Amino acid sequence: MKGTLYIIFTLFCALYPNAQNYDFPLNAESGKCYERCFEYDKKFTWKEINCDTLAMRAQKSKTKEAIIKARQAKIKLTKYQEKLKDLGYKIEITGKLNNQTIKAHHKYLKRQKKKKRKQQRL
């Protein structure tokens, strides 16, 4: 019985690190601040930023222009998620950048790159 539990525990521990999670940057260092960088024509990345600018950004995000800009970005992301869903990717349309959207985005970029190489060969 102990052997069976040990094998199951070992399998769970071995499979857990293989799961991709885009909520936190890889190899993040403590004391440093990071920001998500999502562009529609490039892969998702994390960018290191100055931690002092976070407080200023929080104050700026309360302005009317910042609120309008955030709403426009949400609408644009919602349309992009709808496009990905129409192409057959399994995602929820939330208007927020989540792991499902990032994975589908990477697959979409890979498909586009493959299609482009195929057209160049012809």
- Say which residue, 86 or 11, is predicted with more confidence: 86
**Cα–Cα distance, 96 to 102 (Å, whole number):** 10
| Band of pLDDT at residue 13, cut at 50, 70 and 90 | low
Q: What is the pLDDT of residue 110?
A: 93
Q: pLDDT tens digits for 31-72?
A: 888 888 888 888 888 888 888 877 777 777 778 888 898 899
Query: Structural domain boundaries of the chain?
Result: 25-121
Q: What is the pLDDT of residue 78?
A: 95
What is the full DSSP assignment across 68-118? HHHHHHHHHHHHHHHHHHHTT------SS--HHHHHHHHHHHHHHHHHHHH
